[in-house]
Structure 1
Amino acid sequence: MAVLGGKFTTLEGLLKDIRELVTKNPFTLGDSSSPGQTEKLQEFSQKMDQIIEGNMKAHFILDDPAGNSYLQNVYAPEDDPEMKVERYKRTFDQNEELGLNDMKTEGYEAGLAPRR
């Protein structure tokens, strides 16, 4: 969350950035990491390289409960055959993570603070 925020890029660029974040982080692959974790992350990095190079297929799922992402349909106004958009209602846990469950929206008047 927010690690790669504020980016305008391609899917390939996003995958490269994720791979770089994982492989360049000293806490994941440096002296502080455990041997088992290092092996798994190196395997993950190799798979990412294969996906980026087009040697391995993968499905990319962008789950954005806040709706802050934009994917461009290069086939517009036709549907993109490679992209499926699913709209859904956020779960209680997703709303909780976004701080929406305790947000008070009733009893406010335009330009006035709430009465106590």
Structure 2
Amino acid sequence: MFASVAINETLFDNRPQDYLPRFVTKPSGGIDPRPWCQGFYAAMNLNIKSWKRLLDLDNPNHGLLMPILIYCVDKKGRPVLGKPGPGPETAHFIEHEAYKDIALVIPALRELHYVTHYNPE
């Protein structure tokens, strides 16, 4: 446990800007967060019991996963969050905006995990 705490302090408390998600660049020059998000989702599935409560739609913290899961597909290639709503606004949001929230939710997810697993209270 102590090594995990030390890693968390090094990664997030000292230089969090150095550990922001790094996304692939599309040939057209835009950002493609899908590979990073799919990797995050794959890591979640390695220990799904720890993530199960955040996957519950009734959990107020469920929304922290949405900017990540919006780019993920399951083993059958289906969108994890279901098919996106129709319309150019939705498509534009997914392609050009939603990924920007990932850098905001990662520290919140880390804090939530830290408080849940390492808080001495």
> TM-score, normalised on structure 2?
0.27
Structure having the larger proportion of residues in helix: 2
Query: Which one has the largest radius of gyration?
Result: 1
> TM-score, normalised on structure 1?
0.28
